[in-house]
Structures are given as structure tokens and as C-alpha cells.
Structure 1
Amino acid sequence: MTISKELEELKAYSSSDRCVLSVYLNTNPGDPEQLNGAWKIHLKSGLKRIGEYLKASGDEKEIKDLDEIKNKIIKEMEENKLELHKGVVIFATADGDLWYVNYVQVPVKTNFYWENHPVVEQLEYMYKAYPEAGIIMPSFGEVRVLDTALGFVRDDITYRFDLVSEQWKESEKVDISNRREALKDKTAKLDTRYKVNKSSFYRGMRETIEQLKKKRGWREFHVAGEAEMANAFAESLRDLPASCIYKNLNNSNAEEVVHQVLEK
């Protein structure tokens, strides 16, 4: 399900009682304020503040509901503490009717809400800034594609040109350290007629990109590569990219690619 669809469902969710906890938690290890797992303290403090507010109101049902949700959230975070990214967004009810967890790779401002509906405004803002997006990195004989949402890399796919069938085919994953040598060897074998007209050469990838856009729900896509390759690939497509960045990032890890393309 795309994030836009998830947002629609979250915005439509409401309860007759106040029983929905919304949590936005900054877990960014690169943030100076998050040193030594400070998110644990912020999580505990935020949940404690809401608990104190409910105790002051004297609503026993809400207090009980919060305790149940709190235990679920603490367990969730503890089980995933080694796989945290920049932030996490959680919407939950005690009865389990609503349980939404999204570990995101974009900045999150820590906030806690107790309402009769999920408080989605910050998630909507993040989505507008980092929607489902493809990052396409063409080089000669190889096209690497990152499928991203909220800055998180959902998939990293490489397509290579097959000399026998003269078609682009999805390739087995290759370690970044080995990609450069593999591509060098493949490029040397490519027929010169493909080197003359690169736009025509890349046109064989057009249908694949269009299928990925539809299947992955991309709201936009970006092209990154050496100027000659990036321009030729962009020209081979029916739709214009949201940006065209003249950097060869094929041998960079996925997180660095996202930083170079989406966060600049």
C-alpha cells in the first residue's frame, strides 16, 4: 500500500472515545541531541506526561488504555532498537484496531498526542517533502534504480543490458565493491552502435521505468549520473524527471544516494 493511501485511511479513522495515541519520535543517531540513545528518555518522558494528564482527568478507562498502548510501544521499540533510522511514527489504540508503525529516514520532531483520531499533520508534511520516489542512476550498460518513500530505501534494483537478447534485464545484486569491475568488463564488450545513440539505447528501459512508477506508486522520479548519461536517459523517457543531477552515484551506498539526491 502506498503512503498516500495509508494517509487517507489514517485521516478517515476516528473513535467515539479518546483512545488514539500518536507518537512522533526523533531517533536520528546523527543528531547531537540523540547521543547514547536519548530517544529512550524522550519516549519515556512523553508517555509519562500523557499519563499524568490522564490521571489528573480521572478517566480510568483512558488511563488503562494508555497503559496497554504504552507497553506495546515500548516492546516495539525495544525489539527494533538496532534498526532505527532518523525517526519513527506510531498510531495506536489499546484494542489493536489501529496499529501503525513507520520507521522513516527523514527528520522527525518528537511529539505525543492523545485524541480520538490519529494526528497525521506532521506525517503529511514529511510525505509532501519525501513522497514515493524513484532514483534512477544510468551508466553505460547498467541502470540502477532505488525505490524510496519518506527517504527510506524500499528496494535497490539493477538492470543490465544483455548482449545476446539485446534487452535490459534485472540483474542479481552485486556488491558495490565489485560493481565497478563488472561494469567495466561489460562496457568493453558493447557494440559501438549503441554508444553512438545513447537515447535510443536507453529507450529499452522506458517501459520498465513506467511499470515501476505505477507499481511502486512513485509521485516523482530523479535521474543521477554523468551528464552525458543522465541527459540521454532523461531524453529517452516520456515524462520529465523532477531533477537531473550530474553525479555518478552508482557505486555509492543507498543511504548516501538518498542524501545526495533528495536532501540537497
Structure 2
Amino acid sequence: MPVKTEFFWEETPALNQLKEIYNEFPKTGIILTQKEQIKLIDAELGTLNDTRLFELDLDTQSWRLHQGPHAAQPSMGSGGAKSSKKDEFKERFEANRYRWYKSVAPKLDKLAKEYGWERIYLVGDKEELKDLQDNMNKEADEMINKNLLDHEEMHVIDEVIFN
């Protein structure tokens, strides 16, 4: 984060620049959506504080907090069965998306309150963001139609906050 070089020789600290930076980059929440995954990034002053990943368990049709590092998806190999399963999942997801996002929205609101977010960004598919925003009590400051879920967290912060 760029700052101006300033020097003061006074009895009390000069905090104006720090206050300006905090006003420009307050406690921020970035919520990234992509189908059955939702990632939360907690940032302040342009730095990463915490990350949480929710995954939709299709068997129980509920969201669970993913523990541990984000797992890369293994290669499925080639074959015709993969595309039919993918199409089946896509149809099932689209049919139930609103209901599933409605079930996770209170968890996101609770975390936004716990983290004390002053600014919230929603990032993902336009339709998914609309469904999520409709069900959240907290109003998003900005909705960004980009797929950044699989990007490194600092890249996401740079892309969302500084651009």
C-alpha cells in the first residue's frame, strides 16, 4: 500500500495519514461465489487477516465450513460419463441455487458481524451474486462479475480493492 513519506518532530504523534488510509481501506469482507463453493476473505488496510471456505455437500444439501487448505480438484480423466454427470450437477444446482444460497446467507451475515466488516464486496457470477444478496441482511457495497475463487487471496484483494 503506497504511503507518503512524512516527518514530524512534535510532542504528540501525527496520525492523519494513518487515519486517511484506514478511511480508504477499512475492515473489508470479500465474498467469492462459484457454484457449490463460497470463499470469505477478511482484509484490513489491504492485507489478509483470515479466509474461510464453505462447500455445499450435495448429499445433505447443506453448507459446511471446509477445514484445512483448499484442495485442488483431481483430474477426472476422459470419458463420456464425466460430461453427463457435470450436466446433471449443473441442472440440479441451477434448480436449487436460490434455496441453497438462502440457507448459507445467515452464516455469512453472522461472520460479517463477527469480523466487523465496514465494506463488503461480492464477487462471482451475476445471477449467483443476486441470489446471495437477496438473502443477506448486510448490503454489499459492490458486486463484481468475475470468477476469482481459485486465485490466491492477495491477488483477489489487489483485484477487488485496488482496481
Establish whether TM, by shorter chain, passes 0.5: yes
| Aligned partners of 2:33 and 2:39 also within 8 Å | yes
Superposed displacement of residue 259, structure 1: 1.5
1:154 equivalent in structure 2: 49
Q: Does 1:174 align with 2:73?
A: no
Corresponding position of 1:198: 97
The 1-side partners of 2:144 and 2:50 are apart by 20
Give the 3-state SS of the residue equivalent to 2:30 in structure 1.
strand
Kindly state the Cα deviation for residue 227 of structure 1 after the two structures are TM-superposed.
Answer: 1.8
Report which of the two has the higher share of helix: 1
Aligned residues of 2:109 and 2:138 also touching (Cα < 8 A): no
Contact 1:144 1:250 in 2 (8 A): yes
**Alpha-carbon distance in structure 1 between the residues aligned to 2:146 and 2:90:** 25
Q: Aligned partners of 1:228 and 1:191: how far apart in 2?
A: 14
Q: Flag the structure with more relative contact order, 1 or 2, with Cα contacts below 8 A and sequence separation at least 6.
A: 2
- For residues 130 and 74 of structure 2, the distance between their equivalents in structure 1, rounded to whole angstroms, comes to 21
Whether contact under 8 Å (1:163, 1:190) holds in the other structure is no
* 1:133 partner amino acid: T
Q: Which has the larger radius of gyration?
A: 1
Amino acid across the alignment from 1:150: L
Match of 2:131?
A: 232
Deviation at 1:206, TM superposition (A): 1.4
Which amino acid is the alignment partner of residue 148 of structure 2?
Answer: L
SS at match of 1:112: coil
Superposed CA RMSD in Å reads 2.6
Shift of residue 180, structure 1, vs aligned partner: 8.4
Residue correspondences, number? 155
Give the 3 Å change call, closer, same or farther, for CA 180–114 of structure 1 in structure 2.
Answer: farther
Structure 1 stretches of at least 4 aligned residues deviating more than 3 Å after TM superposition: 179-182, 187-194
Aligned partners of 1:144 and 1:158 also within 8 Å:
yes
In the alignment, the residues of structure 1 paired with residue 74 and residue 105 of structure 2 have an alpha-carbon distance, to the nearest angstrom, of: 24
Q: Is 2:111 the partner of 1:216?
A: no
Aligned-pair identity (%): 25
Gaps of 5+ in 2: 77-81
